[in-house]
Amino acid sequence: MAAGGGHGQSPRRIVLRPEPRPPRDLHQPAALAADLQAIAPDEAIAKVIRDYLFAYGPATPQKFAQWIGAPPLWAIEQFEQCQRDLTEVTLDGTPAWVVEGDTSMPPAKEAVGSVLLLPYFDAYVVGSHPRDPLFPGQATSRARAPSGQTGNYPVLVVDGVVAGVWHQRRSGKLIDLTVEPLHRLSAPQPRTPSETLST
């Protein structure tokens, strides 16, 4: 992985070779739809809410509405219908919801030492709220759009928070990556990335 940027470290690069296409082309929705089974609308919405909360909870109906692109009042109604499957908690002084039984938190030390390169519009940075803890300090101005939108830049995530951005340049079957951390990386970090890239 590259350590670099304008903070005392010269940019370095890594080169990736793309893997073969998966057996099923994900760009052909008709082929994927053949395996889907219809369920009742209320059950489908409830499942989407549960899956959203498993991934991004604790969260409010308003944040769910923002994520799914629906009116906030509609989202509030859907959460009320799902209340038997949800547990109310407090997040930074604000009431929020999680899936019933999903109240334990993994130890914070699990994120320590992790180094990830996430692509444009990765679900982790787009769906996580509140966003300020995920984009501390300079990350807010460097890795978010002026509107506050996230996902516009591929990001370097260190210890669970955004710590820089990265760029790619294709040359034939090779991809050159340049990583720009916003602070000096520790010695092991440039050597132990987990690349989650679509190539």
Q: Evaluate whether residue 31 is within a structural domain.
A: no
Give me the residues of the chain with pLDDT under 70, please: 1-29, 31-32, 105-112, 187-199
> Do 175 and 118 lie in a common domain?
yes
Point out the domain boundary residue: 78, 99, 120.
99
Between CA 105 and CA 86 the distance in angstroms is 16
> Do 94 and 110 lie in a common domain?
no
> Do 126 and 53 lie in a common domain?
no
Confidence (pLDDT) at 189: 64
Q: Evaluate whether residue 145 is within a structural domain.
A: yes
Confidence (pLDDT) at 22: 57
> Do 121 and 176 lie in a common domain?
yes
- From residue 192, alpha-carbon distances to 24, 130, 195, 199 in Å are 31, 28, 9, 19
Q: Evaluate whether residue 2 is within a structural domain.
A: no
> Do 139 and 185 lie in a common domain?
yes
Number of domains in the chain: 2
> Do 132 and 64 lie in a common domain?
no
Between CA 164 and CA 150 the distance in angstroms is 13
Q: Evaluate whether residue 3 is within a structural domain.
A: no
Confidence (pLDDT) at 70: 93
The CATH number of the domain holding residue 94 is 1.10.10.10
Residue 137 contacts residue 7 (beta carbons within 8 Å) = no
Confidence (pLDDT) at 193: 52
Domain with 159 in it = 13-20+106-195
Point out the domain boundary residue: 77, 99, 121.
99
Residue 173 contacts residue 167 (beta carbons within 8 Å) = no
Confidence (pLDDT) at 156: 93
Peptide bond into 58 cis (omega under 30): yes
> Do 135 and 187 lie in a common domain?
yes
Residue 125 contacts residue 165 (beta carbons within 8 Å) = no
Confidence (pLDDT) at 94: 86
In the block, tokens 């057996």 appear at: 23
> Do 143 and 180 lie in a common domain?
yes
**Which residues, including other chains, have CB under 8 Å from residue 120's CB and lie 6 or more apart?**
151, 152, 153, 154
Which two structure tokens, joined as six digits, stand for 131? 């966003």
Read off the pTM.
0.61
> Do 188 and 118 lie in a common domain?
yes
> Do 88 and 116 lie in a common domain?
no
SS3 assignment, position 127? helix
